[in-house]
Every structure is written in C-alpha cells, then in structure tokens.
Amino acid sequence: MFSPTALRPRYAKWLIATGLFLMLSGCVDKPNTLERVKEDGVLRVVTRNSPATYFQDRSGETGFEYELVKRFADDLGVELKIETADNLDDLFNQIGKPNGPVLAAAGLVSSEQRKKQVRFSRSYLEVTPQIIYRNGQSRPTDAGDLVGKKIMVLKGSTHAEQLAELKQKYPGIQYEESDAVEVVDLLRMVDEGQIDLTLVDSNEVAMNQVYFTNIRVAFDLGDARSQSWAVAAGEDNSLLNEINSYLDKVQKNGTLQRLKDRYYGHVDVLGYMGATTFAQHLQQRLPKYEQHFKAYAKKEKVDWRLLAAIGYQESLWQPAVTSKTGVRGLMMLTQNTAQAMGVSNRLDPKQSIMGGAKYLAYMKDQLDESIQEPDRTWFALAAYNVGSGHLDDARKLAAKEGLNPDKWLDVKKILPRLSQKQWYSKTRYGYARGGEPVHFVANIRRYYDILTWVTQPQLEGDQVAEGNLHVPGIDKSKPAQEPAPL
C-alpha cells in the first residue's frame, strides 16, 4: 500500500492542475452579440405593427423597416425573426432580454430618456414632427394655438415628451397618451373629427395622406430629427458596429433611397389635392373597370394594380379622352400600338385595357435579360411611355458615364439628357422628351403603392381585421356628387 506521505505530492499536483484548468476555463471569452446571432443563425428584431414599419399583405411581410432589416439579416447570412410590441414601452423593455430581440427597428428617434435604456445606431432617415389638424377647422399656426384642443399621441413617444415640454410654457395644453393606437389610428381620428390634433412624424404623414383626405399639416413642431435602430445598453458594440457599417453601405449604394422613394414619396408626387382627387376616383371610377384590369392582367401575367395605375396616369380612368398628340382611350394607346395589339376601338375601355396589358407585357419581354426585378418593371414602364429605342439610348449613355445600365435609379438620371442636343446628337434614336418617362414611372409607382395598400382589406374576407394588423384605409362612402372630369 502507498503511504499517506507518498500520496500528498500527487494530490497536490492534481489540485494544482484542476485549479489551472478551472482558471483557464474562466478566462474563455463569451461570444459577443454578433457572434451569437451568427451561431444561432437568427436575427431577432422587435418592431411596431404599422404601415411605416411592418405589416403583412397578400404577398407576405412588408414595410419600410422590415425591408431594411431583412436586407441586413441577409447580409449577415441569418434568418430574420420579427416580433411586434404592443406599444413603445413594451418595445424598449423587450430589447436585450434573454433569448429575446437584439435589435429594435421601429422608426425610433433618440432622446435623453431613451438613451438610458438603449443605444442608437447612425441615422437612416430624417423626419420632422408635425402638428396635424382636420381640413375645414381652424388651422393652428404655433404652439399657443394648441391650448384648448383635444390632442392625442402615442404613449411613450418622443412626441409625448415634446408636448410635456411645451406644457411647461403653455399650461393650458392638454393631451392624452394612448398605447391602444398606432399612428395610422391617430390620423384616422383626426380625419373623422374624433380628436382635434395629433403630432406625428413627416414620413408617416407622407405615407398616409392619400388614405385620409381630410388631414392637413398645421406646422412643424421643431427641427428635423433622426430615426435610428436601437440595441441593448452595455459595452458590447459588436452588433452596433455591424449595423452602422450596413447602414453606411445601403446609403452609398442607393438601396436606402429606393426604399424612401417607395414608401414616402406620395406627397412629393401627388400633392394634397392630387391625393384627395385620387381617393375620390378610387371610389367613383375604378370599380367600373376593375374586372377588366384583373382579367387582362391575369392573362398577360402582370399585376392588375400596376395596370390600373398606368390607366390612371394616362387618363384618370376616363375611357373617352384624346390627347393633343392623338393618343386615345383609357390606356391612351397610339393608333399604331392599338393595331399591333389587336385593338379596333381605342375608346372601348375593355379593348383599351386589353391592349395596354398586352403592350406592357410586350415591353417587358423585349428588355435585356440582364435587367432584373424590380428594375425590369420600371424599365418596361419607361419603354411604354418613351419607346424602347430611346430607353436603349439612355442605357448606353448611362454605361458611358460609369453608371449601371440595368438599374433604374441610374438610368433615370440620364433620360432627361435625351432632350439636350449635346447628348441626343450622340444617340441612335435622337431627341426625346426624356424627363417624361421619369415622371411617368414615378407617378405610376405611387399609384401602384396606394392601390396595393387600399386593396389589402380585400384579403380573404376579414382576415386582416381578425389578424389585428393596422392597415391604411380610405372612406368607402360614396361622395354626393362626382366632380367634372379632369
């Protein structure tokens, strides 16, 4: 047998070895947030269920924030999992919880109070807080005019913080904070006269103006502010640094601008009066032709709402119009185009829509295979307006300028040059009113976006309402009298 004395050195060595192992084990660094996201293969994001952030339509998940953060997840090579918060307080409380969302992408503006809870990324969108009132009511012109008004804002929002500061100077200002509504609800309540005023950001107004035709901007309350994403507080900068790099990249490559144009360009293109008129025509004119748009769009494998948007841009959905240049009908077809598409009577709305659908599909088929969606659709629209020859000229000029001839964002910068001799003299097809297709495409994109949103409630009966999704809507009641044709 071994004596106790002989065992002591071995026991001591074992203790030392075990201690060293435990010390070394304790020194192993835990994975940082970015590493955990990549190891798990999932980016968990919390957001708001609203038109400007995240919602679901017949095509699936969409929204400005969703599209931006989805691209970020794709860049990381991970799956995106979206969670929605019931209100802003709940949203901030969720960030950084164990196995919870690591990022909030919800149109957030930083404030001193919020900086105590989270850290913010670089800015990706500038917005301005705006006081909204109902058309026909007395327009407030400054903060003093808010006294005595019925005002509601989102609970926990920076707008509530702004009003709290104003109340110190104007004690008569009274306002309600609600966590049972979203911005779209606040705008609807002003539109319907349930409240006098609200305070929302300019991008939300731009997105929703066309759905609520009675709302108006009274004045800007303060300077423009930056929207950012938010991550948990602490010293782990791994995810935040990656986010900032990504936002820099999408700023430089044009992705961010394309998303801004798509979601927030309505007012820039339509204006308030245009938005009001379009909303009326949605109710009064579109129902007469909707079945034809759907039938021929299905036949030609194009989106019926895109086809309807072209019809509105061309004729305001009026079948008997004729332009100074001789194009006629609801889809404003030339005589040659009508004959080529099998249209015998351009003033017959059914035939006109049929011809427009065939012509759009033809224009898209003629494009180079290198042009991918969604640019392919925008190029097809431009060709529908200006002709494929002039479009090819613009693409070649774009390539010579070091731009991408397969990207609409680049080519639309070049198209207006086709009306300048120094440029069109170098092209095969010569002069063209190159600015027109740029405006043509921009307008149709706005109308298409609006049609897409307005038709969401038609999803499988009451599916949207039952799903508790906030979606825009317009007043479905028929106006007393249709205005004279424009």
Indicate which residues carry an active-site annotation.
Answer: 314
- CA-based Rg of the chain, rounded to a whole angstrom? 28
Query: How far lies 358's CA from each of 15, 67, 281, 384, in Å?
Result: 84, 31, 25, 11
Phi/psi of residue 305, each to 5°? -70, -30
Q: Which SS3 state, helix, strand or coil, does residue 104 take?
A: strand
Closest by CA position to 232, among listed 103, 143, 67: 103
| Two tokens, residue 243 | 């986010």
Q: What is the 3-state secondary structure (H, E, C) of 291-317?
A: HHHHHHHHHHCCCHHHHHHHHHHHHCC
Residues with Cβ within 8 Å of residue 369, at least 6 apart in sequence: none
Peptide bond connecting 479 to the previous residue in cis, omega within 30 degrees of 0? no
| Two tokens, residue 342 | 């099998």
Contact 71, 259 (CB under 8 A): no
Residues facing 47 on adjacent strands: 84
Token look-up 């086809």 returns 307
Quick one: how far is CA 252 from the chain centroid?
Answer: 18
Q: What whole-number distance in Å separates Cα of residue 89 and Cα of residue 179?
A: 9
Q: What whole-number distance in Å separates Cα of residue 177 and Cα of residue 316?
A: 41
Q: Which SS3 state, helix, strand or coil, does residue 482 take?
A: coil
Query: How far lies 422's CA from each of 180, 194, 417, 425, in Å?
Result: 59, 58, 8, 6
Angle at 206 between CA 162 and CA 215, to 5 degrees: 75
Q: What whole-number distance in Å separates Cα of residue 378 and Cα of residue 406?
A: 11
For the four alpha carbons of 292, 294, 295 and 300, in that order, the dihedral sign comes to positive
**Residue 412, CA atoms < 13 Å, CB-side half-sphere:** 17
Q: Which SS3 state, helix, strand or coil, does residue 56 take?
A: strand
